[in-house]
Amino acid sequence: MVKLTFYKEHYFNSHVRISMDLLRTRNRERLFLKACLQSSMRFVVDNTNPTAAERAAYIALAKAAKYEVIGYFFESTSRDAVARNSQRSGRFQVPDKAIYGTHKKLQPPKLDEGFDVLYYVSLLPNGAYNLTQQGQQPGGKATML
């Protein structure tokens, strides 16, 4: 819920949310992303993209459409992710082994992947966020969470 809460607090009123949790198929995601790019709609990609290769596809499309690309990397341990996941229900809860598998292949994002600005986000005990910025100040139309 950390990423979704962050989206709601910072982007809900200005950016469309593209999420596999909502769209459920890559085909729907592709169509939705294409519509945003063609209409210059501001959007947030709210998916777990643990590798540079997975992020590269979104970044390349956004850059080709002249978007500024802003990334947010939510720093978390597997233990914390499992604990947050246990608070989910139904189709929104994922198997623990999926969390551990994703963490195993995790490649923290780097600015040189094509981000115009990249934030590392950590959750503070009081529920607030601590953001550490790399790169230039954003104006951003495309955002990855």
pLDDT in tens, 17-26: 999 989 999 9
Percentage of the chain beyond pLDDT 70 is 92
Return all residues near 22 (Cβ < 8 A) that are at least 6 apart.
none
**Domain ranges within the chain, ordered by starting residue:** 2-144
- The CATH code of the domain at 2-144 is 3.40.50.300
User: Residue 142 above 80 pLDDT?
Assistant: no
Give this prediction's pTM: 0.85
User: Residue 92 above 90 pLDDT?
Assistant: no
Instruction: Judge contact between 72 and 143, C-beta under 8 A.
Output: yes
